[in-house]
């Protein structure tokens, strides 16, 4: 039987490549696996040879020690792979199929799945609605930053690409379908972006840039991206977006210089709970900063999409309330302006096929926008370190050398 190697969390600030068991169609005990899930039979699942798997900002929260992730938890929820084994109950997915894997695991059978709310499936995580690969408190499904991974409910979860050769030509774009492109697009959709909208996206990391690209795809007139890291702001400008440097102060002032008014129609929070202050406070963590600033920045009657991650427990938070996930929000501002808010995991399956078609028919080059950069599995620890340092790149791990050491935007 083939071996398997994977990227695992070791301790705050450290990941390493480890030898792990080759996957089977059974959820076995291991780091982070919910005891109620141990022994779960998955004849509805498949084994994938991983072609690409990406490092995500959500992974970084765990690696920084900002969650209760256990030692040796295998990471990775952004997965694209080739089917090498199918379970007895799989009917439509075949060996050899090249597929994108939605990061949120869904059964396809529960009430929420049938209503399209695949980010909060009721049957895959014994602790709470919703699950994901390689993530703390998400049921213990083994992560995909590995050579091989098991995907349950394959007929339901997998998005099969219609033409393998075409897919391999656009693999760096298609690898973004597992999470960040649908997640960013969901942020723009839930913010109410439509043709002619003015949009502000907080955060120029990969999800923020994906949200900006999604807003442009939806027909926004002006898309402004705010951040405090110069390299990321430069990446946003080269992708054709306006930018705001929040280290210089309140974004409203800079937005007014761009638009003539200090408000936008729609806003997206692509930062989450590790937000920093603006202006002189940019060096200090202030987790409510982005949400409060977006309430000020969004015009009355507008909406704020919040794909940025917020947690119920943060061991490294700046104060006791934030450690419990309690932030000091100016909710009165939001109420007075009749603002709408949408939070939570993106239901990837709501968007991934449409975004796949946009990629395959050259409507968007998301890999160029986010700076997709290919690295080997062995280089993953350095990729984590570079990404944590603010590199304006989206690191794509190539476990089997199937993509090659080339990247979209790597030289930029």
Which residue's entry shows tokens 């078609």?
357
In terms of Cβ atoms closer than 10 Å to its own Cβ (0-12, 13-18, 19+), residue 62 is buried
pLDDT tens digit sequence for 229-279: 999 999 999 999 999 999 999 899 999 999 999 999 999 999 988 888 898
**Whether residue 353 sits in one domain with residue 306:** no
**Cα–Cα distance between 101 and 84 in angstroms, integer?**
14
Which residue's entry shows tokens 């395959």?
360
Number of H helices, E strands in the chain: 15, 18
**Cα–Cα distance between 292 and 163 in angstroms, integer?**
45
| Structure token digits, residue 116 | 């399209």
Question: Please, which residues have CB within 8 angstroms of residue 179's CB and are 6 or more apart in sequence?
Answer: 54, 56, 77, 78, 102, 103, 346, 348
| Structure token digits, residue 326 | 């309690």
**Cα–Cα distance between 297 and 312 in angstroms, integer?**
26
pLDDT value for 205: 95
**Cα–Cα distance between 361 and 236 in angstroms, integer?**
23
Q: Is the pLDDT of residue 408 over 70?
A: no
Q: The domain that contains 252 carries what CATH number?
A: 3.40.50.720
**Whether residue 353 sits in one domain with residue 334:** no
pLDDT tens digit sequence for 325-339: 788 889 999 999 999
Neighbour count for residue 401 (Cβ, 10 Å): 10
Is the C-alpha dihedral spanning 157, 163, 168, 173 positive or negative?
negative
**Whether residue 390 sits in one domain with residue 363:** yes
**Whether residue 201 sits in one domain with residue 104:** no
**Cα–Cα distance between 367 and 373 in angstroms, integer?**
9
**Whether residue 188 sits in one domain with residue 123:** no
Q: Tell me what the mean pLDDT of segment 388-402 comes to.
A: 95
Q: The domain that contains 149 carries what CATH number?
A: 3.90.180.10
pLDDT value for 405: 45
Confirm if 213 and 364 have CB atoms less than 8 A apart: yes
**Cα–Cα distance between 27 and 317 in angstroms, integer?**
33
Residue 71: which domain range? 5-179+347-397
**Whether residue 174 sits in one domain with residue 191:** no
Confirm if 308 and 290 have CB atoms less than 8 A apart: yes
**Whether residue 359 sits in one domain with residue 298:** no
Q: How confident is the model at residue 410 (pLDDT cuts 50, 70, 90)?
A: very low
Structure-model confidence comparison of residues 273 and 17, the more confident one: 17
pLDDT value for 274: 84
Give the 3-state secondary structure of residue 17. strand
pLDDT value for 129: 96
pLDDT value for 288: 87
Q: How confident is the model at residue 1 (pLDDT cuts 50, 70, 90)?
A: low
**Cα–Cα distance between 190 and 62 in angstroms, integer?**
26
Strands 98-101 and 79-86: antiparallel
| Structure token digits, residue 249 | 């102060």
Q: Is residue 204 part of a domain?
A: yes
Q: Tell me what the mean pLDDT of segment 12-34 comes to.
A: 95
pLDDT value for 404: 72
Q: How many domains does the chain have?
A: 2
Half-sphere exposure of 385 (CA within 13 A, CB side): 7
User: Strands across the sheet with 264-269, in order?
Assistant: 242-245, 222-227, 198-202, 264-269, 298-305, 340-342
Q: Is residue 281 part of a domain?
A: yes
Among the three residues 342, 358, 379, which one is the final residue of a domain in this structure? 342
**Cα–Cα distance between 108 and 96 in angstroms, integer?**
23
**Whether residue 269 sits in one domain with residue 195:** yes
């Amino acid at each position: 039987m083939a071996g398997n190697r994977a990227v695992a969390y070791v301790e705050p600030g450290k990941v390493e490549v480890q030898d792990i068991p080759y996957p089977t169609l059974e959820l076995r005990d291991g780091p982070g696996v919910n005891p109620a899930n141990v022994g779960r039979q998955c004849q509805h699942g498949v084994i994938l040879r991983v072609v690409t798997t990406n490092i995500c900002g959500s992974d970084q929260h765990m690696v920084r020690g900002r969650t209760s992730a256990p030692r040796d938890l295998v990471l990775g929820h952004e997965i694209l792979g080739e089917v090498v084994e199918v379970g007895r109950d799989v009917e439509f997915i075949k060996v050899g199929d090249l597929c994108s894997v939605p990061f949120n695991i869904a059964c396809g059978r529960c009430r929420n799945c049938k209503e399209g709310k695949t980010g909060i499936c009721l049957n895959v995580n014994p602790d709470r609605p919703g699950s994901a690969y390689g993530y703390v408190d998400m049921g213990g499904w083994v992560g995909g930053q590995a050579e091989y991974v098991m995907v349950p409910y394959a007929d339901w979860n997998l998005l099969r690409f219609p033409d393998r050769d075409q897919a391999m030509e656009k693999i760096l774009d298609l690898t973004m379908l597992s999470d960040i492109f649908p997640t960013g697009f969901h942020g723009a959709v839930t913010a109410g972006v439509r043709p002619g909208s003015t949009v502000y996206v907080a955060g120029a990391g990969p999800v923020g840039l994906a949200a900006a690209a999604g807003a442009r795809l939806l027909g926004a007139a002006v898309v402004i991206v705010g951040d405090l890291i110069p390299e990321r702001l430069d990446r946003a400008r080269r992708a054709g977006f306006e930018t705001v440097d929040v280290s210089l102060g309140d974004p409203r002032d800079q937005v007014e210089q761009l638009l003539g008014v200090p408000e936008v129609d729609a806003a997206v929070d692509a930062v989450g709970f590790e937000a920093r202050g603006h202006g002189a406070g940019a060096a200090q963590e202030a987790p409510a900063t982005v949400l409060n600033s977006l309430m000020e920045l969004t015009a009355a009657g507008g909406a704020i999409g919040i794909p940025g991650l917020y947690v119920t427990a943060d061991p490294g938070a700046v104060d006791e309330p934030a450690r419990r996930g309690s932030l000091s929000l100016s909710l009165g501002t939001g109420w007075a302006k009749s603002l709408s808010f949408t939070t939570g995991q993106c239901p990837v399956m709501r968007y991934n096929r449409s975004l796949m078609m946009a990629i395959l028919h050259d409507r968007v080059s998301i890999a160029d926008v986010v700076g997709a950069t290919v690295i080997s599995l062995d280089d993953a620890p350095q990729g984590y370190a570079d990404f944590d340092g603010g590199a304006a790149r989206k690191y794509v791990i190539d476990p089997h050398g199937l993509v090659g050491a080339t990247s979209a935007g790597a030289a930029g």
